[in-house]
Amino acid sequence: MRRLMLLRHAKALRAQGVADFDRPLQAAGREEARWIGEFMAAQGLEPGLALVSSALRARETFDLIDIFLHPPPERVDEPLIYEATAEVLFDIVRSLPRSQRCVLVVGHNPAFEELADELIAAGDEDALAHFRRPMPTGALAVIDFKTKRWGKIKRRTGLLAFFVTPAQAEAKK
């Protein structure tokens, strides 16, 4: 089995004169990231590898959840995730190392929402019901695949195990 966790970055600032790539998290976004980190730890969601968009808001999101993950995953800042299409993300997923059974990818919409929608065939009813909404900032989709190799993953073969927003994660504390 392979487990893919797609985490959309937490809420970021929009300020004149700040390039999109360099947008930091808002105070509320830092809280969102902590709630998701606590949720991941409580659920035993422990990736071995984290691919993180090189955009500042994605890196800051990961830094705030990483403190809850034990052991912390190997981290790779991946510039291709920033402004990637769902197709590019799918290629990245299919090229993940076989040695990694559980991988966290931290990045951006609309590509994350589109990729998750393309991968998911079925899953937990509650998770599916929540996923049908737009994927808000800080949301986490956990998708399982019944395969031994990332390269064998096909569209519409994933099972959605969890879909949680920061507000849901905070409420479950």
The pLDDT of residue 172 is 78
State residue 31's pLDDT score. Answer: 97
CATH 3.40.50.1240 assigned to 2-171: yes
Q: Compare 56 and 129 and report the one with higher pLDDT.
A: 56
Per-residue pLDDT at 173 exceeds 80: no
For residue 52, the tally of other CB atoms under 10 A from its CB is 25
Q: What is the pLDDT of residue 76?
A: 98
- Top pLDDT among 134 and 80 is at 80
Mind listing the pLDDT tens digit for each residue in 2-38?
A: 999 999 999 999 988 999 999 999 999 999 999 999 9
Q: Where are the domains of the chain?
A: 2-171
DSSP-assigned states of every residue in 53-64: ESSHHHHHHHHH
The mean pLDDT of 100-111, rounded to a whole number, is 97
**52-102 per-position pLDDT tens digit:** 999 999 999 999 999 999 999 999 999 999 999 999 999 999 999 999 999
User: Residue 144: is its pLDDT beyond 80?
Assistant: yes
Determine the residue type at 56.
L
- The residue-averaged pLDDT of 131-138 equals 87
Among 7, 123, 13, residue whose Cα is nearest residue 66: 7
Residue 51 pLDDT more than 90?
yes
| pLDDT value of position 134 | 82
Q: pTM for the whole thing? A: 0.97
pLDDT reported for residue 60: 98
What confidence score (pLDDT) does residue 36 get? 97
